[in-house]
Amino acid sequence: MTEKLLSPYNSSEVEDRIYKIWKDSGFFNPDMCINSGITEKNAPTFSIVLPPPNVTGTLHMGSAFMLALEDTMTRFARMQGKRTLWLPGTDHAAIATQSKVEKQIQKEEGKNRHDLGREEFLKRVHQFAKESHDTIVSQMEKMGCSVDWSREAFTLDEQRNVAVKTAFKQMYDDGLIYRGYRVVNWDPKGQTTISDDEIVYEERKAILYTFKYSHDFPIAISTTRPETKVGDTAVAVHPDDARYREFIGKTYEVDFCHENLSITIVGDEAVDPTFGTGALGVTPAHSSIDWDIAQRHNLLLKPVINEYAKMSVSSELLSGKKTTEARELVVTWLKENNLLIQEEEVVQNVSTAERTGGIIEPLPKLQWFINVNKEFSYPHADLPHVAQGELVTLKKLMLSVVENKNIDILPDRFERVYTHWIENLRDWCISRQIWYGHRIPVWYKGEEIHCDIEAPQGDGWEQDSDTLDTWFSSGLWTFSTLGWPEHTDDLKTYHPTTVLETGYDILFFWVARMILMSTYLVGQIPFKTVYLHGLVRDSKGQKISKSLGNNIDPVDTIKEYGADAVRMALIIGTGPGNDSKISPEKFKAYKHFANKLWNITRFITTTAGAKPPLQPQLTDTDRALHTELHELIATVTKELNEYKLYLAGDKLYHYIWGRLADQIIEESKHILKDGSPEERNSRIWTLYTILETSLKSLHPFMPFVTEEIWNILGYNTLLMVEKWPNT
C-alpha cells in the first residue's frame, strides 16, 4: 500500500498536480485521443461550447455550477469513447468591460475616455481584458475543466472579427439588416443604446397621476410620468369601450404646460379598458408600445426628452429641465389649473442600466436593426422542416426548430416560454455608441454607403463609429469557434454541437440569437439540446450577492473543501431549470465523501491485498454483487445520457457510502478473515471490481480524487481516458 493512503485525503496537495498531468497529456484535445488510439477515428462525436465568461472580473459560484455541469457531461462522453470537444473561450462583453475600465480610469486618473482618445482608451481596455482572461483561465483549471485549450477563442479576436463582418454583410445584402429611426433603450449615463438583457428592473414606489390635458378635453388619462405627456400626439381607447366610442377620430388642440399639443382619439384593440381610466396617453417618441400604436394609426412623432434625460421642448416652464424636476413642475401646473383628479401610490418596475445604474429612457434614434419579420428565400438545404427556396422569416426559423423538436430544451417548460417570447419578438437593435467591440463594417462618403468586410478603396470614406451589440458576435459562437466562415474539418465534424448548457436567465438573449444566426448563416441548428441551469442561492434560498453579504467565492471554497466537493455540492439535488441551494454544510459533506472514498481504497488495498491476476470462480453472493453493480451502472449511464446528472451523481454517492462502505465492506471483513481461500479470492476480486467501477463512474463528477486513487492503484493509464464501465 502506498504511504499516501495512510493520511487523510489532501485535495490541496493533489489538484494542481493532477490538472497539470491532464493538461500536459494533450487528451483534452480530441485529435490527440484519436491519434493515440484512445478514440476511434469514426466514433460518434460529442461537442459543447463553453458559454464565454465576460472578461470583466472573476468567476462566481453560478459560473462554478455551469463549469461543474459541463465538465461532468464532457468527461462522461470522453470515457464513452466519443470524439469529445469542449471548446473554451471568453466574451469581450463590450458595455460591461468598457464601463468597468472607464470607472477605473476616472477613479485613478480623473479622466474619461474622451480625454484619452479612442486608440489609447482601447489599449487600456485590451490590457484589462487580458488580465481578467488570465484570472478566468486559472479559475477554470481549479474547477478541473477538461476543455481543449488549443482551440480557445475570444469573441473579439481576429477570426471572430472576420466571422462578424461576414455575417453582417450577408444579412445587409439580404435586406435583413437596416438602418432605421425607432424607439430604443437609451442609457443617459452610458450614452448608448442597450439591449433588453442589460436592463435591471428595480421595484420602486411611484405616484400614478390621473388628470386631463385641459378642461374641455373629454377623457382623463393616468401615468406615472406626466413630464412625458408634453410629447403626446394621441389618446388610445379600446374601440368597443362605450365610454369613449363617440370621441374616436376626433382631434383636440390643447395647451398643456405651455406646450401646444394636438391630441387625436384613436381606437386600438391593444388598450385594456379595465386598466386605469381605460384610456392611454400615446407618446410615440418615448415608449415602444406607443410607437407601435403610432405606426398603426399614422400618428406624428414628437421627441421631448434628449440623450441626457433633459426636456427638449419649447415650453419655458420645462425646457432644459431634468425629467425628475420636470415631473414635479408638471404636477404643480396640473394642480394650479385644477386638472389633477387623483394621486395614487403604486409600486412599479423601473428600467435601469445594469452597468451604470442610469434610468433607461426610451428614445427615437437612428440605429442599426435586424428585421426578424422580413421574408426571404431560404438558401440552405439541410435544415429539417424548412425547404430550400421557401419564403421564411428569422422569427419563423427560430420558432420552427423548437416547435418541431429539432432542438430539445430541458426542462421542457421553457419551450413554451421561448415560443411566447419569439412570437412577440421585435426587430433587434444591434448598434451601440461605445468604442470597445466589433465596429460596424459600414463606411460613408456623402450620400454613399458601403458595406463590406474590408474598407473601400479611395479617399473620403468614414467608417460608422458605432460598435455591434455583444450578442451579435456571441450569437455566432457555436460555429465561428469551429472556423466559420471557412468550411473547416471542425465545422463538419462538431457542428451542430451536441448540447448547450447555460443559465435559464439568458434563454432569450443568447440562446435565441444563436438559433437565429446558425439557422440563417449555416443552415443548421446550433445545438441538439439546451440544458438550462438555475441560479445558485444560499441555504435560505436567497440570491447570492455581495450586497447581501452572502457571497461565496468558488476559489476560496475550493481551497477549503476541494474542487470535487464543490462540484458535487452544486450538482447533486438540482435538476435542470431549478435553482441550487448551497451551504458550508453541503460542501463539508462532500469533502467527507471524498475522504470516505480514500478510506475505502485504503481498506481494500491493505486488508484485501493485491487483486488476483485472473478472475476466480465467484461465489453466489459475489455474483449477486456484480449483478447489482451492473444494474447500478446501467441506470447511471441512462440518466447521464438523458442529462439527469443530479440523479446519477446521487445514486453513486449513496451506493459508495451506504452500500459499499457501510454494508459490503463490513461483510467483507468477516470473509477476508475467516472465509475459505475460494471465498477470499472471490471477495477480493469483487471488491476491486466495485472500486474500479466506482472510480470510473464517479470520475466525471469528482475527477481529482478518482484520478489520484487510480494512480495509487498502479494503473499506467489516465482514468480520464479510461473506457466507461460496460453495461
**pLDDT digit string, tens, across residues 471-510:** 999 999 999 999 999 988 999 999 999 999 998 888 777 9
Contact 341, 139 (CB under 8 A): no
Of the candidates 62, 89, 346, the one whose C-alpha atom is nearest the C-alpha of residue 224 is 346
Distance CA 462, CA 444 (A): 5
- Residue 109, domain member (yes or no): no
What is the mean pLDDT of the segment spanning 539-551?
67
pLDDT digits (tens, 9 = 90+) for 290-329: 999 999 999 999 999 999 999 999 999 999 999 999 999 9
Residue 547 has pLDDT above 70, yes or no: no
- Grid look-up 441506470 returns 635
pLDDT digits (tens, 9 = 90+) for 259-273: 999 999 999 999 999
What is the mean pLDDT of the segment spanning 630-634?
97
**Amino acid, single-letter form, for residue 714:** G
Confidence grade of residue 727 (pLDDT, cut at 50, 70, 90):
low
We report the CATH number of the domain holding residue 698 as: 1.10.730.10
Contact 169, 451 (CB under 8 A): yes
Confidence grade of residue 535 (pLDDT, cut at 50, 70, 90):
confident
Identify the pLDDT of residue 163. Answer: 97
- Grid look-up 470510473 returns 696
Identify the pLDDT of residue 557. Answer: 94
β-pairing, 221-223 with 199-211? Answer: antiparallel
Identify the pLDDT of residue 549. Answer: 64
**Terminal-to-terminal C-alpha distance of the chain:** 30
Identify the pLDDT of residue 508. Answer: 79
Residue that finishes a domain, picked among 300, 332, 366: 366
pLDDT digits (tens, 9 = 90+) for 637-660: 999 999 999 999 999 999 999 999
Confidence grade of residue 159 (pLDDT, cut at 50, 70, 90):
very high
Of the candidates 370, 515, 463, 453, the one whose C-alpha atom is nearest the C-alpha of residue 159 is 453
What is the mean pLDDT of the segment spanning 175-182?
96
Residue 546 has pLDDT above 60, yes or no: no
Residue 545 has pLDDT above 70, yes or no: no
- Residue 131, domain member (yes or no): no
- Residue 296, domain member (yes or no): yes
Contact 164, 468 (CB under 8 A): yes
Residue partners of 631: CB distance under 8 A and separation at least 6: none
β-pairing, 153-154 with 89-90? Answer: parallel
- Residue 99, domain member (yes or no): no
Residue that finishes a domain, picked among 366, 393, 414: 366
pLDDT digits (tens, 9 = 90+) for 687-709: 999 999 999 999 999 999 999 99
C-alpha cell at 279: 384610456
C-alpha cell at 656: 459508495
- Sign, CA torsion 199/202/206/210: positive
Residue 649 per-residue DSSP state:
H
Quick one: what percent of the chain has pLDDT higher than 70? 98
Residue 72 has pLDDT above 60, yes or no: yes
What is the mean pLDDT of the segment spanning 441-470?
95
- Residue 115, domain member (yes or no): no
Distance CA 279, CA 293 (A): 13
| Dihedral angle over CA of 355, 360, 365, 370, nearest 10 | 60
Helix residue ranges, H only, 457-553: 470-474, 477-480, 489-494, 512-521
- Grid look-up 477563442 returns 153
Of the candidates 598, 573, 584, 581, the one whose C-alpha atom is nearest the C-alpha of residue 704 is 598
The DSSP-derived string for 296-364 is: HHT------B-TTSBB-SS-TTTTT-BHHHHHHHHHHHHHHTT-EEEEEEEEEEEEEETTT-PBPEEEE
Distance CA 302, CA 616 (A): 89
Domain count, the chain: 2
Q: Is 472 exposed, middle or buried (0-12, 13-18, 19+ CB in 10 A)?
A: buried
Provide φ and ψ at 183, rounded to 5°. -75, 130
| pLDDT mean across residues, the chain | 94
Identify the pLDDT of residue 436. Answer: 92
CA atoms within 13 A on the CB side of 444: 8
- Residue 391, domain member (yes or no): no
Residue 1 per-residue DSSP state:
-
What is the mean pLDDT of the segment spanning 42-69?
91
Distance CA 30, CA 44 (A): 12
| Dihedral angle over CA of 676, 681, 687, 690, nearest 10 | -130
Distance CA 241, CA 218 (A): 14
The H-or-E segment that residue 372 falls in is none
Distance CA 530, CA 514 (A): 11
Distance CA 232, CA 713 (A): 78
Distance CA 609, CA 1 (A): 8
- Sign, CA torsion 642/647/651/652: positive
pLDDT digits (tens, 9 = 90+) for 113-123: 999 999 999 99
Residue 367 per-residue DSSP state:
E
Angle (CA) 703-704-708 rounded to 5° is 115
Confidence grade of residue 279 (pLDDT, cut at 50, 70, 90):
very high
Of the candidates 578, 501, 569, the one whose C-alpha atom is nearest the C-alpha of residue 535 is 578
pLDDT digits (tens, 9 = 90+) for 362-407: 999 999 999 999 999 999 998 999 999 999 999 999 999 999 999 9
The length of the chain is: 727
- Residue 373, domain member (yes or no): no
Contact 227, 318 (CB under 8 A): yes
Identify the pLDDT of residue 99. Answer: 86
What is the mean pLDDT of the segment spanning 554-575?
94
Residue that finishes a domain, picked among 366, 397, 431: 366
Three-state DSSP class for 287? coil
What is the mean pLDDT of the segment spanning 340-349?
95
What is the mean pLDDT of the segment spanning 527-556?
80
We report the CATH number of the domain holding residue 357 as: 3.90.740.10
Identify the pLDDT of residue 548. Answer: 62
What is the mean pLDDT of the segment spanning 604-628?
94
Helix residue ranges, H only, 88-117: 94-109, 113-116
What is the mean pLDDT of the segment spanning 279-292?
95
The DSSP-derived string for 223-240 is: ES-GGGGGG--EEEE-TT
- Residue 270, domain member (yes or no): yes
| Domain extent for 675 | 581-721
Residue partners of 401: CB distance under 8 A and separation at least 6: 383, 384, 385, 407, 515, 519, 525
